[in-house]
Amino acid sequence: MDGLPGRSGFARDKCGVAGIAAPEGIAPALYQMLRAVQHRGQESAGIATYDDGLQTIKGMGLVENVFQAKELERLTGKVGLGHTRYSTTGSSRLENAHPVCVSSAEGSIALGHNGDIVNSDQIRASLQESGWAFITENDSEVIVRLFANQLSKADSPVAAMRSVMGEIVGAYSLVLLVGDKLLAVRDPRGIKPLALGKLPDTYNPAGTPASEDGYGGGYVVASETVAIEALGGKVVRDVEPGEIVEITPTMIASHRGRPSEELAHCMFEYVYFSRADSVIDGREVYDVRVRLGEQLAKEAPVEADVVVPVPDSGRSHALGFARGGGLPMAEGLMKNRYVHRTFIMPDQEDRASGVRIKLNPVKSIVEGKRVVLVDDSIVRGTTMNRLVEMLREAGAQEVHVRIGCPPIKAPCYLGIDMNTREELIAADKSMDEIRDVVGADSLAYVSIDGLDIAIDKEGDSLCKGCLTGRYPVPVPGEVHRKQQTLF
């Protein structure tokens, strides 16, 4: 994944959320779930549980550094939620870390949010004019304060959330603690992933008799299925777009939140952000990425000696390209496993300096060879340029770049850290100009039609705003995908 510069002031969230309801062991389970979705955010992490009051631990850094065993012991109760953050609204500071917690007339509320609320600035300004005060910069606090306000008027947390969903516009997968109740919510377009699962009987050792299927230990919800499987759990289904789910240790209850609108699943979850072993809305991410590579080989074949993936983001795409093109694949770039994902580092300086620390060429694989370098995407081009240079320095005769995502030409307003066209190399450059910037002998991206074929979703059910400049929600100054023109 090619990096782009960090942003000051305005940013958005692309994070990981997890929730659990079980008789025992919820804090250690949440810790394991957050480890499983650590790739979704490395800036901060937090856990909140409820046991006659809200208990919270959160801090800056990786999950393993934020939580210690003795601290987890004090997070008791039967319901809880966790969050890993990659800042996209609100800067990278502890006060913006999740869970976001507030007090209300109905008790304490904790919120974990993955996504971005397009109209949060307008809502915040309106509430501030009415005398409301905000502690953080992030849009998640807008959601939780709206919810607390509605909770005082509604007859249930579900009814309060329905009202909130009628006010906010954008992408959101939410997990909330409302006293001893756990709610999971997905936006009506299903932009962000959210999955439900069951825990094994070991999480309910006092339960008699044992469940028929061995999964009577409680229920979990998470951004990705891998977090459920990390606990030995069983994935039940995805939270449906527009659905509100009440979760307790013994049951889940589904409620219609807002009528489901046209779907707009984030294509970038399939291309890059989710773990390859996750399943999103019925599609295995690994399979999608291999299919993208195969499609790319059909669309942009090249005479070459070896296919080299950019680890780890381009590995599945490269395997598909190698299969589709009848070429051998080899690990021509070796990754330092102790360096984390550069795209979600907050500053471009960190990303740029991390490239050579993170990756190093294997000379015996690339020397004298015509190399096809395959990655999932290019955003700014600086990282790809450095990788091409490294392969040439290692003796590559030719370097052909193939990308498993169409050119990213427009900002993302729904949760990926790409919000100005100036940061995007494909926004104002031709294919030949991009090839020259990255220094490749040839360059090709998979087409948008090829992307649709690989993901294989019904109709126009993907959000491709960053590829087309046409968005599934109204964004000031941008084109809604139902519009013909901006004006």
Q: Distance between CA atoms of 361 and 340, rounded to whole angstroms?
A: 18
Residues 479 and 471: beta-carbon distance below 8 Å:
yes
Please compute Rg for the chain using Cα positions. Answer: 23
Q: Distance between CA atoms of 236 and 224, rounded to whole angstroms?
A: 12
Give the pair of three-digit tokens for residue 464: 């491709």
Q: Which contacts qualify for 475-479: CB closer than 8 Å, 24 or more apart?
A: 475/118, 475/413, 478/410, 478/413
Residues 290 and 317: beta-carbon distance below 8 Å:
yes
**Three-state SS at 281:** coil
Q: Distance between CA atoms of 382 and 85, rounded to whole angstroms?
A: 25
Tell me the DSSP string of 422-469.
Answer: GG-GGGS--HHHHHHHHT-SEEEE--HHHHHHHH--SSS-EE-HHHHS
Q: Distance between CA atoms of 4 and 335, rounded to whole angstroms?
A: 20
Amino acid in position 60: M
Q: Distance between CA atoms of 228 and 364, rounded to whole angstroms?
A: 40
Residue with tokens 């991206």: 445
Give me the helices (H) in 336-447, please: 348-358, 363-366, 382-393, 431-438
Is omega for the bond preceding 209 within 30 degrees of 0, making it cis? Answer: yes
**Three-state SS at 342:** coil
Give the pair of three-digit tokens for residue 323: 């299969």
CA dihedral 119, 122, 126, 132 (to 10 degrees): 70
**Three-state SS at 189:** coil
Catalytic site residue from 15, 405, 463, 466: 15
Q: What is the DSSP letter of 187?
A: -
CA 11, 16, 17, 23 dihedral sign is: negative
Residues 43 and 94: beta-carbon distance below 8 Å:
no
Q: What is the DSSP letter of 285?
A: H
Q: Distance between CA atoms of 221 and 196, rounded to whole angstroms?
A: 4
Does 15 qualify as catalytic in the annotation? yes
Characterise 469 by phi-psi region: left (phi > 0), alpha (psi -120 to 50), beta (else).
Answer: left
Catalytic residues: 15
